[in-house]
Amino acid sequence: MGQVNRRSVLLGGLAAVTAATALPSWANARTAAAVPPAIHDPFQLGIASGDPLPDSVVLWTRLAPAPLNADGFGGMPDATYAVDWELATDENFASVVKSGSVDAVRASAHSVHVEPAGLDPAREYFYRFKTAGYISPVGRTRTAPAAGAAVNQLKYCFTSCQHWEEGWYHSYKGVVRDDPDLVLFLGDYIYEKPSGRVKSELNPRRLAVPQDTTTLALYRARHGQHKTDVDLKAAHALAPWLVVFDDHEVMNNWNGTTSPAPAARKTAAFQAFYEHMPIRSTAKPNGASIQLYRQFLWGDLARFHMMDTRQFRSAQVTGTACGPYRDPARTLTGTAQEQWLLKAFETHPATWDFLGQQVFFAQRDGDGNNTTCESPDSWDGYQASRDRITQGWIDRQVPNPVVLTGDVHRHWAADLRKDYYDHSDPIVGSELVTTSVTSNSDGAAPPDAAWLANNPHVKYCKGERGYVRVTATPAQMLADFVVVSDTSVNDPAKLVIKTDKSFVVNAGSKGLQAV
Amino acid sequence: MRVGVRAEGLFRSSDAHFVVYDTNADGSSAVVQYWLATGAGPFYVWASGGQGTSVDKAVAVPKGSWVFYKTCTGHNTSPPTFAGCSAGLTDFAA
């Protein structure tokens, strides 16, 4: 690691010095507390919204004029900045309905979370921030329909797994084109380490700060670089997001124990995650603890259970002997989250019951032998947990349960059973697994005929990058599996974003039907 | 920005140029890696003429925008290889 040359530092600091001296003379007489130092345009990470309720939605930004700085402070001075915000019913802000000011402080990496209340349900709003003489881009968001309100359609997109180095985020061009009401992100928003893919020659970009994210500063810098992607910023500005994490926001395959991720690493990762996501203050971390699982209702049409399948899970098992995989004492969700979910199943406020979560829910058993088990990081590794939730759908007569999944870097569609070895066991729900935005599946062969014969509940698999678009109505749920032709090139002219396969589920009738 | 005493790179804010100096006869080139506000990078400015040579190159950094860069030594192969890099620095086009 080299030294910093004095000449470069002077030159690098020149713009800031010029900006400071451009202030009027009276400004220099004020205290630092009264007038924080002048900064460059701090809205480099864009804006975002999320967690919509019928009367409120989270508005987010972070001040970071130099977002790649390894110290994690994004080029912000050690000072507090007042950030004004506005919420309007029109994109020109002629009709501002809510406004206010919040302090962006160094302890929170100058991130801003605003939760305006008293909004109208099922309404589109526009928002923006102002600070230090700069105005942010404008974001569009919407509130959820009121509980019980008749809703004739909900369109949302969901995706996961966006290793920075492994591709351009073209999926979000498709998301923006689709103009959804909601966007769901199901985990692996960042990766804690550089790409290790075999076909590294296909990686079109690299991390600016490539060290493994073991500190808060490094997690902040990693999130900061991700938020510089123009397509990701556009998708955040388009619609409210529901975000949950998987493992790589902390480290690969972490769990509820302190190995492989000790408490200090979870603490740093959770803090940076909160600082960079449009999530509610109820999710503000307390050390190595974060309250991430939560529910959302979209009128009488849809309910989302957004799950945390990392923080409370038992440690992954090893080997293929099925005993530990089926141990009822082991859990993927933790007891409290499981009881919270099962309690929710007792009410049926909406036609569609979506379980937004991270890891493959349906069984995948390549040899069809029920004495050998595999995939210990997925629900296959926590079969008793899966059984309790599946039985919960059955016992509580949950209408139209659909699991939404990320993690595996391939599109999959599957039906859900209580007993996957009994191929005539009734279907109780369906699972839609999104592929990744960029993270690779190099070397993953498609399932062969023998594999599919052992897993007839699996209807589809596609190893390309993309996302899933869901259009739900009171009568039907349409799932379009969208693929991106190439994430290694940045030229839109060479890009094709198209639907590869579609399935429907008819309300009240279990099982995926190919379109 | 200097790597040991073998390479030096600087960003000239006034006209968005990188100047890269090879300051050592070590068999390696000097190079600046840089990232832009669009999310793209790294891009490279190589000084491959040997010790005592430099390269001055205009880069596409819009006025007011930032560039994050490191100075490295390495070889301009495909893919490029790097013997060492400085810590990064953010600068702004005036």
CB A356 within 8 Å of CB A50: no
Q: What is the mean pLDDT of residues A284-295?
A: 98
Would the pLDDT of A9 be above 50? no
Determine the residue of chain A that is closest to B19 in CA distance. A8
Interface test with A, best of B12, B66, B72, B81 (most A CBs within 10 A): B66
Q: What is the pLDDT of residue B4?
A: 64
Write the residue in B3, B35, B91 that is nearest to A12 by C-beta. B91
* ipTM of the modeled complex: 0.96
Q: What is the H or E stretch that residue A266 is in?
A: helix A263-276
Q: Does B64 contact A41 at a Cβ distance shorter than 8 Å?
A: yes
Does B89 contact A at CB distance below 8 Å?
yes
CB atoms within 10 A of CB A225: 23
Would the pLDDT of A34 be above 90? no
The pairing of beta strand A352-356 with beta strand A401-405: parallel
Does B79 contact A at CB distance below 8 Å?
yes
Write the residue in A9, A201, A208 that is nearest to B68 by C-beta. A208
**B13 contact residues in A (CB cutoff 8 A):** 11-12, 14-15
Residue type, A173: K
- The reply to whether omega before B42 is within 30° of 0 (cis) is yes
Q: What is the pLDDT of residue A76?
A: 98
How far apart CA A409 and CA A436 sit, in angstroms, is 5
How far apart CA B50 and CA A51 sit, in angstroms, is 57
**Which one, of A138, A248, A146, A234, lies nearest residue A190 by Cα?**
A248
Does B85 contact A at CB distance below 8 Å?
yes
Q: Does B13 contact A230 at a Cβ distance shorter than 8 Å?
A: no
Interface test with B, best of A228, A236, A489, A490 (most B CBs within 10 A): A228
| Mean pLDDT taken over chain A | 93
Would the pLDDT of A347 be above 60? yes
Q: What is the H or E stretch that residue A19 is in?
A: helix A14-21
CB atoms within 10 A of CB A454: 19
What percent of chain A stands above pLDDT 70?
A: 93
Residues linked to residue A302 through DSSP beta bridges, in sequence order: A298, A352
Q: What is the mean pLDDT of residues A402-421?
A: 98
Residues linked to residue B67 through DSSP beta bridges, in sequence order: B36, B91
Angstrom distances, CA of residue A191 to CA of A173, A231, A278, A326, A356: 21, 18, 19, 30, 20
Q: Does B42 contact A206 at a Cβ distance shorter than 8 Å?
A: yes
Q: What is the pLDDT of residue A356?
A: 98
Does B64 contact A at CB distance below 8 Å?
yes
- Per-residue pLDDT of chain B (94 residues), as tens digits, is 766 668 999 999 999 999 999 998 889 999 999 999 999 999 999 999 999 999 999 999 999 999 999 999 999 998 899 999 999 999 999 9
| Angstroms from B86 CA to nearest CA on chain A | 4
Q: What is the pLDDT of residue B2?
A: 67
What value does the CA radius of gyration of chain A take, rounded to a whole number of Å?
A: 23
Does B3 contact A at CB distance below 8 Å?
yes
Q: What is the pLDDT of residue A6?
A: 27
Does B9 contact A at CB distance below 8 Å?
yes
Q: Does A15 contact B92 at a Cβ distance shorter than 8 Å?
A: yes
How far apart CA B79 and CA A223 sit, in angstroms, is 26
Residue A445's Cβ-side half-sphere holds a number of Cα atoms within 13 Å equal to 6
A&B contacts, CB < 8 Å: 100
Does A41 contact B at CB distance below 8 Å?
yes
| pLDDT digit string, tens, across residues A500-510 | 999 999 999 99
| pLDDT digit string, tens, across residues A113-123 | 999 999 999 99
Would the pLDDT of A359 be above 50? yes
Determine the residue of chain B that is closest to A44 in CA distance. B37
Question: A16-30, A59-73, A264-278: which range is least confident on average?
Answer: A16-30
SS3 B66: strand
| pLDDT digit string, tens, across residues A171-199 | 999 999 999 999 999 999 999 999 999 88
Q: What is the H or E stretch that residue A16 is in?
A: helix A14-21
Would the pLDDT of A19 be above 50? no
Q: Does A4 contact B86 at a Cβ distance shorter than 8 Å?
A: yes
CB A374 within 8 Å of CB A383: no
Q: Does B41 contact A208 at a Cβ distance shorter than 8 Å?
A: yes
Write the residue in B13, B40, B87 that is nearest to A205 by C-beta. B40
**B2 contact residues in A (CB cutoff 8 A):** 2-5, 8
Between helices A230-238 and A171-178, what is the axis angle to 10°? 20
Residues 6+ apart with CB under 8 A from A343: none
How far apart CA A450 and CA A260 sit, in angstroms, is 35
Would the pLDDT of A231 be above 70? yes
CB B34 within 8 Å of CB B18: yes
Does A210 contact B at CB distance below 8 Å?
no
Q: Does A5 contact B66 at a Cβ distance shorter than 8 Å?
A: no
Tokens representing B4? Answer: 């040991």
Write the residue in B10, B86, B94 that is nearest to A7 by C-beta. B10
Q: What is the mean pLDDT of residues A34-38?
A: 85
Q: What is the mean pLDDT of residues A66-85?
A: 98
pTM exceeds 0.80 for this model: yes
CB A284 within 8 Å of CB A226: no
| pLDDT digit string, tens, across residues A431-476 | 999 999 999 999 899 999 999 999 999 999 999 999 999 999 999 9
Does A319 contact B at CB distance below 8 Å?
no
DSSP letters along A116-140, please? --SPPTT-EEEEEEEETTEEPPPEE
Q: What is the pLDDT of residue A20?
A: 31
| Angstroms from B46 CA to nearest CA on chain A | 18
How far apart CA A293 and CA A283 sit, in angstroms, is 9
Q: What is the mean pLDDT of residues A302-323?
A: 98
Rounded to the nearest 5 percent, the helix, strand and coil shares of chain B are: 0, 55, 45
How far apart CA A67 and CA A64 sit, in angstroms, is 5
Angstrom distances, CA of residue A50 to CA of A90, A231, A320, A327: 19, 17, 40, 37
Write the residue in B10, B88, B94 that is nearest to A208 by C-beta. B88
How far apart CA B56 and CA B36 sit, in angstroms, is 18
Q: What is the pLDDT of residue A3?
A: 32
